[in-house]
Amino acid sequence: VKIAVLGTGSVGRTMAARFATIGHDVTVGTRDVQATLTRSEPDAMGNPPFSTWAAGHSQVPLLSFAEAAANAELVVNATNGGVSIEVLTQAGADNLAGKVLLDIANPLDFSQGFPPTLFVKDTDSLGEQIQRAYPDVKVVKALNTMNTAVMVDPTLVPAPHDVFIAGNDADAKRRVAGLLGEWFGWTPGSIIDVGDITAARGTEMMLPVWLRLWQALGTNQINFHIARAGV
């Protein structure tokens, strides 16, 4: 599969590294290739500069958001939620039309410090905002409720735990569910389809709970599990 990962943060790096390892044709998208490669400071989350990661992953080209999206069959949104709509504008509606967009972003607002608040919630969600802005894109919200290391390796949490998917296009959701198994090893029983894209309201609103659990338990190798009677 030709995959474009939009985003150079820890999610984008982790996804792209995994896709490259399993032999997919993957590119990473950024605003300005030269600027991203010449940054020498750690990013806002304290990750090493992108160039350090790129040096160890020379098989993964860094392209502009538009170039990455244009060449891909499937696009991953791993950008800061506050700029995701802007990033997709830069990627270009024509380059995205008809494609599956795996949306991992969360609508976190860190402007008042930690813990962040949600800049959209309850009656709307970032997933819906993206779907409304790009009606020709098949938005599938998934993986946003866990740490990036757990996304690509569910065995890090050695107990039953789940991943939620939401989206309007049933085929796109089936495809993403299959890929979560193929790419990362999520078992069919651990993938819960929570409905159309409005269900992203709920999965995005799980973030405040996840963030407090991270603080309370002192580890980010945690995830949600939905225990069901008779299962």
Q: Which residues bind ligand NAP (CB under 6 A)?
A: 7-12, 30-31, 36, 44-45, 78-81, 83, 86-87, 104-106, 108, 144, 147-148
Using the minimum distance from each CB to ligand NAP, give the nearer residue, 194 or 231. 194
* Spatial distance between the Cα atoms of 189 and 168, rounded to a whole number of angstroms: 21
Burial of 46 (0-12, 13-18, 19+ CB in 10 A): exposed
- Nearest distance in Å: CB 219, ligand NAP: 13
Using the minimum distance from each CB to ligand NAP, give the nearer residue, 46 or 98. 46
Three-state DSSP state, 182: helix
Which element (helix H / strand E) includes 170?
Answer: helix 170-179
- Nearest distance in Å: CB 144, ligand NAP: 5
- Nearest distance in Å: CB 7, ligand NAP: 4
Count of H-run helices and E-run strands, the chain: 11, 10
Using the minimum distance from each CB to ligand NAP, give the nearer residue, 1 or 37. 37
- Nearest distance in Å: CB 196, ligand NAP: 21
Using the minimum distance from each CB to ligand NAP, give the nearer residue, 105 or 177. 105
CA atoms within 13 A on the CB side of 2: 9
Using the minimum distance from each CB to ligand NAP, give the nearer residue, 91 or 170. 91
Q: Measured in whole angstroms, how far is the alpha carbon of residue 97 from the centre of its chain?
A: 19
CB 95 within 8 A of CB 27: no
Sign of CA dihedral 86, 6, 171, 202: negative
- Nearest distance in Å: CB 140, ligand NAP: 14
- Nearest distance in Å: CB 105, ligand NAP: 3
For the chain, the distance separating the N- and C-terminal CA atoms, rounded to the nearest angstrom, is 34
Say which DSSP state 183 is in. Answer: I
Residue nearest to ligand NAP (CB): 9
Sign of CA dihedral 53, 56, 57, 61: positive
Using the minimum distance from each CB to ligand NAP, give the nearer residue, 74 or 105. 105
